[in-house]
Structure formats: C-alpha cells, structure tokens
Amino acid sequence: MAWNLLLRAVWRERCRRVVSTQPGASARHIVEGGAPPVLEVSGLTKTYTIGRFGKAQVVRALTDVDLTIQKGEVLGLVGESGSGKTTFARTVALLERPTAGHIRLLGQAVPPRLTQKRLREHRSHVQMIFQDPYTSLDPLHTVRYSVSRPLRTFKVVPKNAEGATVDKLFTQVGLVPPQDFLRRYPYQLSGGQRQRVGVARALAARPELLLADEPTSMLDVSIRLSIMNLLLDLQKAESLSLLFVTHDLAGASYMSDRVAIMYAGHLVELGPSESVMGGPRHPYTQLLRGAAPDPASHFGASKRFEARGDPPDLTSLPSGCPFAPRCPSARRECSDSLPEWRQVGPGHRVRCVLY
Amino acid sequence: MLVPLLEVRDLRVGYGWDEVNVTEIVRGVNLRVGAGEVVGLAGESGCGKSTLAFAAAGLLEAPGRIMSGEVLYEGTNLMGLSRDKLRALHLAEISMVFQASMNVLNPVARIRQQFRDAMRAHGINSADESLARAREMFERVQLPARFLDAYPHQLSGGMRQRAVIAMALALRPKLLFLDEPTTALDVVVQRSIVQMLSDLREDFGFGVVFITHDLSLLVEIADRVLIMYAGKIVEEAPARGLYESPQHPYTRALMSAFPPVGAVRTRLEGLSGQPPDLRQLPAGCAFAARCPKVIAGTCDAIAPPEVSSGEGRRVACHLYGHAAFGAPQGDRLERSGDGLEPPAEGGLEGKVSAGG
C-alpha cells in the first residue's frame, strides 16, 4: 500500500516535470524543418550512493538537466571539475543509467531499461571521445583493431570492406598515410595521434551525435587547436551533432554554436556562444569569464579577481540556487527555491533571480 | 649597474650518462631576472623550459649535465657552489613550485610535519617557531590552519598547490621558480592562485620565473616574456609589446594556438607540424620546417643571429636581419631595468606609458 502511494507520488512528480519543461521547449530553440532534435534531454538527474548502509550518502551529480542538441549543432558544455559535465555526457551515452529524467534520441524516447540489442543501437548513434588518450585505447591491440571494432559491433560495413573503411577513417582524421599507423600500438603514438585514433574510432560507428569529453585537455598547446579543428571539420563534413565538454571557456567559444554552463550538477545558463561569452548573465558565468586569461581586457585597467568559497559538496547541496553561497549578488529568495529559467535574449536563457 | 637577481649566461644543458652521448636540450640561453620582476618563459612541451629552470635553480641531477655557461645568483656562480651550500640556498633564497604538487608532498606525512622538516633543514629547530611560520603562511595563502594537520590526499588540487606555495615562501626567498603551477587546475582556481601569488609578490618582493605553455595567461601576468623553441630563446619582449606585436613567426603561431574568449569566431590555424628531434637538429633555424615565412636557402642553412628588434626586445629570426634594424636599438640590459621599478607605483599604467 505504502509502496503504491510512493510510486504514484514519483509518477506524479515526473509528469509534473515533463509538463513544466514543455513551454520552455518551444522557446528554447528554433526547430528547423520540423526535424526532431538529435538529442532531447529533460529533467535528467543522476545520483550516486556512497558509503555503507546506515551511513550512506547521496551524491547529486546531475539535477534536473534539460538540454537539446539540433542536427549539425556544436554545443559546448562548460563547468569546473566536479560540476557534472562528464557525468552528463556519460549518461547520454548510457554508460551510466539515469536516476530520473528522459532522453530522446532522434525523436525517439530511450527507455530507462534497455535490452542489449537496443543499447547497441543507442550507442551506434551516440559515440564518445574520451579525455585521456593514454588510457582509452587498449594497449594490447593495434590501433587498427581499436578502430575496426565498432565496424563489426555495429555492422557498419560488410566484412570485406572493413580494411578500406579503416583506411578511409585514418585518412579522415589526418593519420596519413594509414599504412604507417595501422599496425602500431598506442604506446608507439604521440598524445595527439592517439586522440586522432580515438576520434576515428568514434566516427567508425557513423554516429549522429559525438560526445567529446574534454578531448584536448591532456594535450600540448600545439596539438590542441589541431584536434579542435579536426572535430569542427568532421562535424561540418558529416553534419554531425557535437557535444563539446570542457572547462576551457576559450575553447568552448571557439568550437560551439551554443554554450551551456553547468554548476554543481545544474545548468545555470544556456545560449548562443557569442551572446553568453560576450555578455554572461549568470554570476557564475561571469566568474568563469573573469577567470579566463584574457590579455586584451587586462591591459586597460588592473582588475581584481574575487572568488569566494568553493563549489558545494554534492552530498549536501544548499537549498535553492547552488551558487547562492558564493554569489556576490545573492538575495534571500535565492536559497528558498531554485530560480526558474528566464529568457534574456534570443535563445539565451539564465537560471537566476536577477533577471 | 645593478647586479641582477639572476643572470643566466649562454647556458647549455644536456642529458646523457657520458661526455660523448649528450643530447643538448638547452642550447645557449641568456636570461636575466631583476629583483621583484616577473619573467615568463613559454614554449611547447619538450622545448627545454623546465630543464632551463632546473639548471638555473641549481636543481639539475644526473643524467642532466650543464655543458657550459654560467648561472649567477646575485653575482655568485651557482655552479661553483658545493652541494651543501646549494642546499642552504634552496628554499631560503631560491624556491621552486612544480606542476604536480602531489608528487612534491610526502603522502604519508601531515603537512605540519613536512613544514617542520623543511624549516629544520634551514636551522629553525623550534617546533613552535616552525608552527607559527606555517600558520602565518597558511593565512597568507588563504588556507585554514586546520589543514596543517591534514595529509596531502585530503586536500584538493588547488589546496595542495597553496600548501606547497606556503612552504616555498616560508623563508622569504628572493627568487621563485614556478613550473606550470596552475596547469592541472580549473580556471577559477588557477585565477585565484595567480592573484594570490601576485599579492604575495607585492608584499614580499620576490622575483619570479613563471613557466607555462599558456601564453595568454603569461602575457597577462609577466613583465617580460621569453619564448623558447628547441632549446633556444627565439624572442624576448615586454609582455604588452609581445602581445601587441609578436615578431618571431613561432611566437605568432603560439599565440594563435589560443582562441580568444568571446571574440567573433574565426578559424585559427595555430601551430602545424612537430618540434624537431633535438638529437638531430636541422641546420639553420630549428623552426624553419614549420615556419610559414621560411626563406629558402637562408633559414634552412644559417642559424639566425639574435638581434635587438625594438625597445627591450630581441628576436632570433632571419626576417629581422641587421639590414632591417641597422644597429641594435638601445641597450637591452638597460631596458630590462623597467621591471625593477616597484610595481606599486603606477602599477600597470606605469608600465603602459613606458612601453608606449
């Protein structure tokens, strides 16, 4: 009986959430030609339980995240370490099971529990590029093996076309001539080359959506830009959708059509790249923007950078806006409840009471 | 003429276990740091910037070997000093903060104990005094004193870096080497540590050699910036001058490798190709193979001489030959005195008017 009531309450809550996200959905983005967005996420929540029974604590890694990615769009997801940006990418790739919320891929709802077959289908559409090119490739296999695996798993091409396809992928990611690289093991490649193999492997599945989780942060300066350019070229050529997860504001503004700012598992600001970077509205975005090295703004007047406090403990999030304890313009109402999304410009939304 | 805090003269450093098979990593570098000056050193991985810092700080261990050149700290040649004398100098006069602070701290000792060990090595034997200093320094780096009792793994990356900086500055050294101190950290943490360091520098007045590959950060915080490529300084300039008119093609390429925040989106090409193998350096300029402005027959044959190319600037590139500039303009050493001015007076504005 009690269970029944509980389930009903959970169900009602979910319905409420879905309904509450609907009005935002229309204003959120211009839907072109009626084609469904590649990815539509609503109310995505992910919690982890840590500690032993009795002393268990709940880590709220993602709280109620709504996000849409259109076909051929590059969306930058920016946040500090521990903000949940990687968890978001991993959850979308279903490497983690969402605790609550809905994921729609190419207009189709992704059920919370999937058969192995359905999961494989999901992953053939959504591929991930990992942060660390040193640990994300199997050291015991040649890179040719790593890249050809998805071709078999997702039955992309018939077996006799495998060799030619791998060659083409290597060429696409700039590992030319392919025969110089195919038989190498990851340890025989430089960091940038390994990351290119990682990109080739992700492309092999012919995905609609590429999730790049800080693909450049482990690389040297000289290679960073070339990997970013490679991703942009591929994204344009194949009209892929790309989620670019990063803590580097400059990189995000270089790559992305739209930028989403994440703090403590919450999305706080979302909008076109130029408008978010040019006029950040949320105090947290302003903090990030002020922290980014920017010689041009420095030379005029000496500005002081003030950052109070640290990101909150995800096991005991403050009530209301998670940024309120650090926010220079916090008011009493900020800690009462989470602010609603407010429209501050074309396609530019912010979750802050100031607007 | 004032004796500079640190002067490195034609330093050559290599790695190798015997005299014959040595790979030269630092190939004839000149570097001066004035008291209280912030000198930035930038370049790609493997260009020799860390090796240069280790050698200049007297921390180089075998198989690293100094092949020639001098490192003068307040006029004393560090190379002539015994190990004991060098030990006494480290921390008290010259300190260094590294990128991976986790590897610097002892994982099985509390921070307080590590502080005490460092102080004891420099003659502060009283536990109370070392604790008092530790508390004071923790306050300066904005860390709660309770973290003195913590083990390194209990601190976040930013806190560890603060603890290491507290230790490095406890004995009020005059020269601080910062080897990519913020590279592994988040932007917000990075910015607050950089801000804290610049506050501490204003109070304590130490000179800084700041090593990083993040040129946009460096240009913002340094007085002077040196660009290093394949073991050589290819360009030196006041920070603002470097930002506004980079001269060496490598500097330009390095700058364009960092997309600016919030600017109109345009495609940047950055750096193409890879740095040369230091074991088999090409004849002529080491950057020639990657250079968009390479002069065939010159750049790949003759090593470019270092020329003075404007106020307080030098560049090693054939594009800035003697013909273009005639006699070197002004004395570089005189100009580098600019950084010696107390930063409090006029601050940035002072520097700006001097530069313009």
A2-46 pLDDT per residue, tens:
556 555 555 555 544 443 344 333 333 444 456 789 999 999 999
A328/B contact by beta carbon, under 8 A: no
- Cβ atoms B168, B96 nearer than 8 A: yes
Which DSSP state fits B246? Answer: -
Predicted confidence pLDDT, tens digits, chain B (356 residues) = 578 899 999 999 999 888 888 899 999 999 999 999 999 999 888 889 989 999 999 888 888 889 999 999 999 999 888 889 998 999 899 999 987 777 789 999 999 999 999 999 898 889 899 999 999 999 999 899 999 999 999 988 888 999 999 999 999 999 999 998 887 788 888 888 888 998 999 999 999 999 988 888 888 889 999 999 999 999 999 998 999 899 999 999 988 888 887 667 788 887 877 888 888 888 889 999 889 888 888 898 888 988 988 888 999 999 886 544 443 433 333 333 333 333 333 333 333 333 32
B23 phi and psi angles, rounded to 5 deg = -95, 120
Phi-psi category of A20—alpha, beta or left, where left has phi over 0 and alpha has psi -120 to 50? alpha
A140/B contact by beta carbon, under 8 A: no
Nearest residue, CB atoms, B259 vs list A254, A295, A298: A254
Q: Which residues are A126's β-sheet partners?
A: A209
Give the integer Cα–Cα distance in Å for A27 and A347. 7
Check CB contact under 8 Å for B262 and A289. Answer: yes
What's the pTM? 0.81
Check CB contact under 8 Å for A221 and B217. Answer: no
Q: Which residues are A44's β-sheet partners?
A: A65
Tally the C-alpha atoms within 13 A of residue B286's C-alpha that lie toward its C-beta. Answer: 21
Break chain B into its structural domains and give their ranges.
Answer: 1-93+173-244, 107-167, 247-353
pLDDT, residue A7, reads: 55
Check CB contact under 8 Å for A221 and B214. Answer: yes
Residues of A in contact with B191 (CB under 8 A): 290-292, 305, 307
Secondary structure (3-state) at A68: strand
pLDDT, residue A219, reads: 82
Name the amino acid, one letter, at B227: I
Which residue in the block uniquely carries the two structure tokens 């607050």? B192
- Cβ atoms B182, B194 nearer than 8 A: yes
Residues of B in contact with A294 (CB under 8 A): 216, 220, 260-261
Residue of B nearest to A298 (CA): B220
pLDDT, residue B330, reads: 37
pLDDT, residue B25, reads: 92
pLDDT, residue B275, reads: 84
Nearest residue, CB atoms, B261 vs list A221, A287, A294: A294
Dihedral (C-alpha) B100, B105, B106, B112: value to the nearest 10 degrees?
A: -160
Average pLDDT taken over every residue of chain A: 86
pLDDT, residue A74, reads: 96
Check CB contact under 8 Å for A254 and B213. Answer: no
Residues of B in contact with A81 (CB under 8 A): 186
Give the CATH number of domain B1-93+173-244.
Answer: 3.40.50.300
Cis omega (within 30 of 0) for bond into B63: yes
Check CB contact under 8 Å for A222 and B192. Answer: no
Nearest to A209 by CA among A88, A112, A325: A88
Residues of B in contact with A308 (CB under 8 A): none
Check CB contact under 8 Å for B259 and A307. Answer: no
Residue of B nearest to A222 (CA): B271
A15/B contact by beta carbon, under 8 A: no
Residues of A in contact with B187 (CB under 8 A): 80, 247-249, 288, 291-292
Give the integer Cα–Cα distance in Å for B340 and B92. 21
Under 8 Å CB pairs connecting chains A and B tally to 112
Is A124 or B214 the better-scoring residue by pLDDT?
Answer: A124
Check CB contact under 8 Å for A277 and B270. Answer: no
Residues of B in contact with A304 (CB under 8 A): 195
Residue A304 to residues A285, A346, B198, Cα–Cα distance (Å): 17, 31, 11
- Cβ atoms B300, B294 nearer than 8 A: yes
Cis omega (within 30 of 0) for bond into B292: no
Q: How far is B167 from chain A (nearest CA, A)?
A: 22
Tokens of A326: 């650090």
pLDDT, residue A299, reads: 58
pLDDT, residue B349, reads: 36
Give the B window 75-114 contacts with A, CB below 8 Å. Answer: none
A291/B contact by beta carbon, under 8 A: yes
- Cβ atoms B279, B14 nearer than 8 A: no
Candidate from A267-276, A299-308, A317-326 with smallest mean pLDDT: A299-308
Residue of B nearest to A80 (CA): B186
Give the integer Cα–Cα distance in Å for A7 and A64. 19
Check CB contact under 8 Å for A302 and B348. Answer: yes
Residues of B in contact with A249 (CB under 8 A): 187, 261
B343/A contact by beta carbon, under 8 A: no
Check CB contact under 8 Å for B243 and A295. Answer: yes
A288/B contact by beta carbon, under 8 A: yes
- Cβ atoms A20, A12 nearer than 8 A: no
Nearest residue, CB atoms, B259 vs list A253, A299, A304: A253
Q: How far is B214 from chain A (nearest CA, A)?
A: 8
Residues with Cβ < 8 Å from A89, sequence gap 6 or more? A77, A128, A211, A213, A243, A245
